[in-house]
Amino acid sequence: MKPKRSEKMFKRASKNLVGAVNSPARAFGAVGGKPLFIKQAKGSKITDVDGNEYIDFVLSYGPMILGHGHLYVQRQVRKALKHGYSFGATSAPEIKLAKMICGVFPGMEKIRFVNSGTEAVLSALRLARAYTGKTKIIKFSGCYHGHVDALLVAAGSGLATLSLPGSAGVPESSVQGTLIAHYNDLDSVKAHFETHDDIAGVIIEPIAGNMGVVVPQDNFMKDLQSYVSSQSALLIADEVMSGFRAHYGGTQELLGVQADITCLGKVIGGGFPVGAYGARAEIMDKVAPLGDVYQAGTFSGNPISMSAGIATLRALKRQNPFDTFNETAKTLEDALKQSARRYKVDIAINRYGSMITPFFTKGSVSNFQHAQAADTQRYARFFWAMINNGIFLPPSQFEAWFLSSALTKTDIAKTINAIDIAMQEVARI
């Protein structure tokens, strides 16, 4: 790999972009070295400014489920562009995409489009508080819900830990109403309800992806829904990442649960900026202009994003690649485990649908504390070895790998070969 142009662009970008990036996840800080700058992408591949080509398992952190530059999506976007870029008024694509999404999320009768997952979450929290007349929110350590002040919270030890701001600039007053629970631990949720009588809702990633992939165990999600409902609070499912990733629709249906409010993003925009939150009508009718919960946005329901989302979901439904995703993820899991055994490297693999994460740690990973025990130095060594062998991975141990339907058998064979080479590098630490 020759990153000369990327290094030059890093110097140029550093002058006017904070840290040379527009999102910390792109900075490669967790793996060391300078970030790669990307020139183009097509299908399952992404190419940097030096001309190095990689099989892409980042996929813009999830949206590119069909691969890059899908022809049908491109055609539909070009058609939409001919009619204009933004109207500041409602248009047909908003109606179509809303109907498509509500039709596959049981219990979702109405939806409001916004511009990002973060915006969807902050709007959902406001709505939950207004609907219940309560103020506090429970979140789970390790689940990331965007850079909302109230949810940028670092949890300490114990089931009823006091909330502390997890970012400079977030005042303690912003997080005083946020309580921390532990993923896969219903008792940690119950402890808060037993102490507080003003909890409006519980927000969770049904399939966690922002501490690496972590899945619910032993009917955790079903038991959580039942308990939250019994406490007259709302369950908020953050499916910004997991939506349409294991099933055409939400992960909730596969888990046998139905959240009161669902947050979406990524796949439903086909690679364009988008977010959404939806619920049954009696909840959503609290939102302006029907109700007194104010939320607005100039670019909400942007016709280009809506058209890209419609095309992506149509193509995804036709392809129905979810069985193939499961098979491919299982193949990668087996390759990672076999290679790790061969070179005596401790590893745990979590996967769900088209999301997978290898943790360099002993034992299983079922919560944030387990994930934090992973050896990040080993992941960094693995990451760079994979990069050098043409595989583009998330530059952090605590991010999910994503699969696209554009992956070929040749891509998978090359990835498996790279895994074996990279695992040898890891074993040298």
pLDDT tens-digit series, residues 342-394: 999 999 999 999 999 999 999 999 999 999 999 999 999 999 999 999 999 99
* Pick from 238, 218, 217, 243: nearest CA to 355: 243
Q: Report the SS3 class of residue 112.
A: strand
CB 349 within 8 A of CB 400: no
pLDDT band at 170 (very low <50, low <70, confident <90, very high): confident
Alpha carbon of 59 to those of 265, 285, 406: distances in Å? 14, 35, 11
Instruction: Dump pLDDT digits (tens) for 237-256.
Output: 999 999 999 999 999 999 99
Would you name the residues annotated as active-site residues?
A: 144, 238, 266
Top pLDDT among 164 and 345 is at 345
What is the structure's pLDDT at 108?
A: 97
CB 21 within 8 A of CB 27: yes
Which helix (H) or strand (E) is 423 found in, with range?
Answer: helix 409-427
* Pick from 330, 322, 336, 304: nearest CA to 423: 336
* The domain made up of 4-69+321-427 is a member of CATH 2.60.15.10: no
Instruction: Dump pLDDT digits (tens) for 101-110.
Output: 999 998 899 9
User: Omega before 206 cis (within 30°)?
Assistant: no
User: Omega before 106 cis (within 30°)?
Assistant: no
DSSP state of 163: P
> β-strands 199-204, 234-238: how paired?
parallel
Query: In degrees rounded to 5, what are phi and psi of residue 383?
Result: -55, -50
* Pick from 361, 398, 358, 376: nearest CA to 32: 376
What is the structure's pLDDT at 155?
A: 35
* The domain made up of 71-318 is a member of CATH 3.40.630.10: no
Mean pLDDT, rounded, for 259-284: 98
Q: Which residues pair with 38 in a beta bridge?
A: 48
What is the structure's pLDDT at 164?
A: 52
CB 238 within 8 A of CB 146: no
**Token pair listed for 360:** 């360099």
Mean pLDDT, rounded, for 393-420: 97
* Pick from 338, 398, 76, 403: nearest CA to 214: 398
DSSP track, 321-339: -HHHHHHHHHHHHHHHHHH
pLDDT at position 162 over 50 = no
Give every CB contact of residue 26 below 8 A, 6+ residues apart in sequence.
35, 395
How do the domains of the chain map onto residue ranges? 4-69+321-427, 71-318
pTM of structure: 0.95
The crossing angle, in degrees rounded to 10, of helices 409-427 and 322-342 is 30
Instruction: Dump pLDDT digits (tens) for 302-346.
Output: 999 999 999 999 999 999 999 999 999 999 999 999 999 999 999
